Amino acid sequence: MANVLAFYAVYLILTDRWDMGLVVMLIVTILDGVDGKLARLKGTPTKIGKLEHSLDFLYEQAWYVSLVLVAYISSNNIWVLGAGLAWLVADGYVRHVYNLGWIVVGSPLKNWGRIGRLVTIIDGRRNVYVWYAAISYVITGGFTLSIYLSLAHALATVLVYTILTQMQISQVVKQQ
Domains of the chain: 2-175 (1.20.120.1760)
Residue 126 pLDDT class (50, 70, 90 cuts): confident
- Residue 39 has a pLDDT of 63
Is pLDDT above 90 for 46? no
- Please give the share of the chain, as a percent, with pLDDT higher than 90: 57
| Distance from C-alpha of 170 to C-alpha of 176, rounded to nearest angstrom | 10
CA atoms within 13 A on the CB side of 65: 11
Q: Are 87 and 65 in contact (CB under 8 A)?
A: no
Rounded distance between C-alpha atoms, residue 15 and residue 66, angstroms: 10
Task: Compute the residue count for the chain.
Answer: 176
What contacts 53, CB < 8 A, 6 or more positions away? Answer: none
Q: Please state the φ and ψ torsions of residue 165, each to the nearest 5 degrees.
A: -65, -40
- Tally of CB atoms within 10 A around 21: 24
**In the predicted structure, residue 132 carries a pLDDT above the cut 70:** yes
Residue 94 φ/ψ, nearest 5 degrees: -60, -45
Q: Please give the mean pLDDT across all residues of the chain.
A: 88
80-123 pLDDT per residue, tens: 999 999 999 999 999 899 888 888 888 888 888 888 888 888 88
Q: pLDDT value at position 44? A: 61
Q: What separation, in Å, do the N-terminal and C-terminal C-alpha atoms of the chain show?
A: 45
Torsion sign over Cα 83, 72, 153, 49 = negative
pTM (global) more than 0.75? yes
